[in-house]
Amino acid sequence: MPLLLPLLLAACAATQTQEYGLEVLAEHPHDTGAYTQGLFFHDGRLHESTGHYGRSSFRRDVSLETGGYAQKLDFEDRYFVEGSVILDGELFILTWREHVVFVYDAATLTFKRAHRYPREGWGLTTDGTCLIASDGSSRIHFLDAQLKRLRSVDVKMDGESVRLLNELEWIDGRIWANVYLEDYIVIINPDSGLVEGRIDCGGLLPPSLRTRDTDVLNGIAWDGERIFLTGKNWPRLYQVRIRKK
């Protein structure tokens, strides 16, 4: 028993969630008409998918300087677009409750195919090998390019499941996830599903920039060096750095 107690204490300490705060390094304009659902860099260019019935779109090559974009795909009113990502030359775009995933040629935005999808579509990212998707639950799903599920993990923080996992980003071997309706981001171990870090994003968008249309924090993008955050209908895109509390 004397040996077992230290081992148990060590195991508990190993799973304790590290708390982080944010430091804002730069501010950029963001379209307040963009209900951000997916945000990611590919080959140094920023892309964004936006939601709502009748207003869903995919915006290619979003400018950090102006918040504008080089090209835009609009979707039929019956689709509510969610997360998006590029893998192996193909652009994948989730829909929320329509059980459809659209696939386009990433270079030309030419439509290639659509897949039936058995779950709700929320967030989407990639580790460079497979697609990684959230569905609004505490589960993260790893998929192949044909949307076949390879495996899933249940995300837990301090022993409790974390529900409403939303927009996702793969950063340095970990999955970063917005939690819908919360002002924090969780850093998830992709093998175990354990939350290794929690980033407090409270106050990122100041009250002076909020309007009646301003919605929740949602949108994480990493260009290999810099991390950017925004929210639904936010007027700003922030370059940030995290720091331990």
Q: What is the pLDDT along the chain (245 residues), one digit of tens a residue?
A: 344 434 434 444 456 899 999 999 999 999 999 999 999 999 999 999 999 999 999 999 999 999 999 999 999 999 999 999 999 999 999 999 999 999 999 999 999 999 999 999 999 999 999 999 999 999 999 999 999 999 999 999 999 999 999 999 999 999 999 999 999 999 999 999 999 999 999 999 999 999 999 999 999 999 999 999 999 999 999 999 999 99
Degrees (nearest 5) of the Cα angle 14, 176, 123? 135
pTM value is 0.93
The closest of 164, 189, 160, 157 to 178, measured between CA atoms, is 164
pLDDT digits (tens, 9 = 90+) for 87-146: 999 999 999 999 999 999 999 999 999 999 999 999 999 999 999 999 999 999 999 999
Number of C-beta neighbours around residue 124 at 10 A: 27
105 in helix, strand or coil? strand
Q: What is the predicted pLDDT for the residue at 15?
A: 62
DSSP string for residues in 229-245: EEETT-SEEEEEEEEE-
Q: How far is CA 149 from CA 18, 153, 170, in A?
A: 30, 11, 18
Q: Which structural domains are found in the chain, ordered by start?
A: 17-244 (2.120.10.30)
Q: What is the predicted pLDDT for the residue at 16?
A: 85
Q: How far is CA 183 from CA 88, 103, 133, 192, 216, in A?
A: 33, 31, 20, 24, 8
The closest of 19, 5, 12, 26 to 225, measured between CA atoms, is 26
Number of C-beta neighbours around residue 196 at 10 A: 16
Q: What is the predicted pLDDT for the residue at 7?
A: 40
End-to-end CA distance of the chain: 35
Q: How far, in Å, CA of 151 to CA of 148, rounded?
A: 9
